[in-house]
């Protein structure tokens, strides 16, 4: 079957990654049912389903008649561990239940953080969601674990692009810290390709730009702005960052805001090894198209053009 013959249900379609996945699906001719919490403009090929991961009726409508499900939606910041579990684990459970035992191709976007569930509530909730997907009867599943995702429009990685303007930026991590990277367009392409890639059913796959050893923070900063000998980061100790995260979390409980930096997030940011090593996708014939050496400066140029970087 071609893309035009198939119907894909998509969660998280209005977020940073989900928007890229929606575009990739439409470019390949798929018909898409997309979950959205707010009203969205009409688009050819898209049926918007009002609701979220707590709405069982909306989820049933979303997956009705779908040949495949791509589950992108999830919570990346919260005040409490229980909030992560209600959306990341509970939302996944409700989406699987909406299929009502019907065999379906199910592509689940997890996170490399699921490899280290003891670090944070977020990591633990993503690992718990993976367990649900893997144990669901009749589900033809594949789980993709991306590392740090970047690209035009992302707000969470913007701090590193701002740091690349400074000679001695204050950053989490350390000289031994290494991370893999993936451009959002490549991640979207991998999620859509996973519908048909051979040999990846019932597999967990790490998705990245192909650099086998990942990158040190100084290498990332140098790729962003092209000055390899300019940056000399001052690395914040993990303990100090956790104290700061705790103070921010405490302030958020008073103000009612949702903090990005918490003690758990501090442990994630200072974890020494976020390098992708498996070859599941490469063995199946998929490879990223955008190396960090190209994608990072292109993303910096996008931020500059849109006024996010001076």
Q: Is the pLDDT of residue 129 over 80?
A: yes
Q: Is the pLDDT of residue 68 over 90?
A: yes
- The verdict on residue 128 lying in a domain is yes
Dihedral (Cα; 178, 287, 282, 143), 10-degree rounding? 80
What is the span of the domain harbouring residue 115? 3-149+183-207+277-288
The number of domains in the chain is 1
Average pLDDT over residues 282-287: 97
Q: Is the pLDDT of residue 119 over 80?
A: yes
- What pLDDT score does 242 carry? 76
* DSSP one-letter string for 135-163: H-TTEEEEEEE--EEE-TT-SSSHHHHHH
- The verdict on residue 241 lying in a domain is no
Q: Is the pLDDT of residue 2 over 60?
A: no
Calculate what percentage of the chain has a pLDDT beyond 90. 81
- What pLDDT score does 256 carry? 66
- What pLDDT score does 240 carry? 65
Q: Measured between alpha carbons, how far is 95 from 80 in angstroms, rounded to an integer?
A: 22
pTM of the model: 0.94
Task: Provide the mean pLDDT of the chain.
Answer: 93
Per-residue pLDDT reduced to its tens digit, 88-111: 999 999 999 999 998 889 999 999
- What pLDDT score does 193 carry? 98
Among residues 154, 141, 209, the alpha carbon closest in space to that of 19 is found at 154
Per-residue pLDDT reduced to its tens digit, 207-263: 999 999 999 999 999 999 999 899 999 888 777 677 665 676 666 666 667 667 788
- The verdict on residue 101 lying in a domain is yes
- The verdict on residue 53 lying in a domain is yes
- The verdict on residue 163 lying in a domain is no
Per-residue pLDDT reduced to its tens digit, 4-55: 679 999 999 999 999 999 999 999 999 999 999 999 999 999 999 999 999 9
Average pLDDT over residues 186-192: 98
Banded pLDDT at 310 (limits 50, 70, 90): confident
CA separation, residue 165 to residues 137, 157, 233, 235, 306 (Å): 51, 14, 11, 16, 16
The encoded tokens of residue 289 equal 């198209």
Q: Is the pLDDT of residue 280 over 90?
A: yes
- The verdict on residue 159 lying in a domain is no
Banded pLDDT at 3 (limits 50, 70, 90): low
Sign of CA dihedral 208, 214, 216, 222: negative
- The verdict on residue 35 lying in a domain is yes
- What pLDDT score does 236 carry? 81
- The verdict on residue 162 lying in a domain is no
Banded pLDDT at 1 (limits 50, 70, 90): very low
CATH number for the domain including 39? Answer: 3.40.50.720
Dihedrals φ, ψ of 46, to 5°? Answer: -120, 130
- Which DSSP letter does residue 11 get? E
Of the two residues 153 and 257, the one the predictor is more confident about is: 153
């Amino acid at each position: 079957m071609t893309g035009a013959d198939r119907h894909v249900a998509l969660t998280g379609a209005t977020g940073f990654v989900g928007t890229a996945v929606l575009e990739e699906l439409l470019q390949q001719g798929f018909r898409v049912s997309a979950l959205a919490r707010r009203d969205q403009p009409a688009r050819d090929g898209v049926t918007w389903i009002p609701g979220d991961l707590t709405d069982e009726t909306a989820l049933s409508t979303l997956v009705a008649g779908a040949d495949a499900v791509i589950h992108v939606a999830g919570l990346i910041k919260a005040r409490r561990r229980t909030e992560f579990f209600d959306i990341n684990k509970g939302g996944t459970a409700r989406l699987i239940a909406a299929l009502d035992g019907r065999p379906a191709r199910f592509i689940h976007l997890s996170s490399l953080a699921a490899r280290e569930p003891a670090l944070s509530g977020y990591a633990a909730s993503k690992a718990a969601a993976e367990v649900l997907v893997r144990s669901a009867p009749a589900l033809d599943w594949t789980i993709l674990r991306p590392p740090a995702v970047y690209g035009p429009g992302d707000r969470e990685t913007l701090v590193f692009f701002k740091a690349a303007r400074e000679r001695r930026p204050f950053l989490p991590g350390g000289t031994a810290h290494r991370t893999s990277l993936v451009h959002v367009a490549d991640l979207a392409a991998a999620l859509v390709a996973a519908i048909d890639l051979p040999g990846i059913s019932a597999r967990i796959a790490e998705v990245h730009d192909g650099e086998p050893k990942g990158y040190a923070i100084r290498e990332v900063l140098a790729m962003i702005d092209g000055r390899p000998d300019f940056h000399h980061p001052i690395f914040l100790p993990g303990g100090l960052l956790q104290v700061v995260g705790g103070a921010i979390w405490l302030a958020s409980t008073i103000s009612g805001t949702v903090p990005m930096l918490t003690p758990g997030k501090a442990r994630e940011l200072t974890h020494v090894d976020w390098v992708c090593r498996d070859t599941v996708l490469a063995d199946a014939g998929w490879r990223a198209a955008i190396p960090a050496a190209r994608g990072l400066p292109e993303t910096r140029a996008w931020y500059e053009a849109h006024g996010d970087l001076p």
